[in-house]
Amino acid sequence: MVREIIRSAPISPVPNSPEFVEGVINLRGDIIPVIDLRKRLNLYTEEIQKKNWILILDIEASVTGFVVDMVDEVLKIDEKTIEPAPEIVLAGLESQYIRGVVEVAGKRLMILLNFDSILLANEIKELKDSRAAK
């Protein structure tokens, strides 16, 4: 699902788009919609950082960028090590966004997001329309 990870790029706003859509970027000739993951998940938004990372993902045959605060490392996770998230974790975020949790190197837990459900079908259509409008 992850195509690449880039440093922030100039984002062009798209009029009348949902609040969590930052706009679109031109990535080597491809127009890609960019979503602020903090806004989409209704997480506390700190002061906007000048240098964020953008995850470029392939979601349901549509390439979409997600603004994240930082990228620490890239890991390969064995599917068998993913466990269901505890109820307390699911209470903080809508459970459809959570794929599960995994213990990394025996010292920390990571919550895995389900990017296939981050966007609703009508939102995916809106993003495709916004890309065509640019």
Judge contact between 24 and 134, C-beta under 8 A.
yes
CB atoms closer than 10 angstroms to residue 74: 7
pLDDT per residue as tens digits for the range 33-89: 999 888 888 776 666 556 689 999 988 778 899 998 888 888 888 889 998 877 765
pTM (2 d.p.): 0.77
CATH of the domain at 116: 2.40.50.180
The domain of 32 spans 2-133
Mean pLDDT (the chain) is 80
Phi-psi region of 66 (alpha: psi -120 to 50; beta: other; left: phi over 0): beta
**Domains: count for the chain:** 1
pLDDT at 51: 65
pLDDT > 90 fraction of the chain, expressed in percent and rounded? 21
Judge contact between 107 and 133, C-beta under 8 A.
no
